[in-house]
């Protein structure tokens, strides 16, 4: 399966991305390179590999679950705007009422 310039333009349109014509060609080459790599991986013989081999017998070390005090930090000391213990974040221009 290959990606065409039409595919890249359509995805960019759906994502509302503006692409320069030169960038479209570069993206087509990059995406087709990734797909070619996936084809190589798909062709690898994995018939002798147990699918669960990697996941069995491996456990992450756990720390003791000991309750401890947390630091009381005044968020107003590093946040530009705070109200009732919450950060105030400016509204995005795209969400402003018209």
Q: What is the per-residue pLDDT across 20-73, written as a single tens digit (0 to 9) for each?
A: 989 999 999 999 999 999 999 999 988 887 776 666 666 777 888 888 887 777
**Residue 57: predicted pLDDT:** 62
- pLDDT on residue 62: 83
Position 33 in a domain: yes
The range of the structural domain enclosing residue 21 comes to 5-43
In a domain, 37, yes or no: yes
16 part of a folded domain: yes
Query: Within a domain: residue 74?
Result: no
Q: Which two tokens stand for residue 10?
A: 């359509």
Decide if 81 is inside a domain: no
CA distances 6 to 3, 9, 24, 66, 72, Å, are: 8, 5, 9, 57, 55
Domain presence at residue 97: no
Q: Is residue 73 part of a domain?
A: no
Whether 84 maps to a domain, the answer reads no
pLDDT at 54: 61
The domain total for the chain is: 1
pLDDT of residue 91: 81
pLDDT score at 15: 95
Question: pTM above 0.85?
Answer: no
């Amino acid at each position: 399966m290959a990606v065409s310039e039409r595919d890249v333009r359509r995805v960019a349109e759906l994502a509302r991305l503006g692409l320069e014509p030169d960038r479209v060609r570069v993206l087509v080459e990059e995406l087709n390179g990734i797909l070619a790599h996936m084809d190589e991986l798909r062709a690898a013989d994995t018939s002798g590999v147990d699918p669960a081999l990697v996941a069995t017998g491996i456990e992450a070390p756990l720390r003791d679950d000991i309750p401890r005090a947390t630091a009381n930090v005044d968020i107003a000391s590093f946040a530009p705007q705070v109200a009732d213990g919450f950060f105030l974040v400016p509204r995005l221009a795209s969400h402003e009422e018209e």
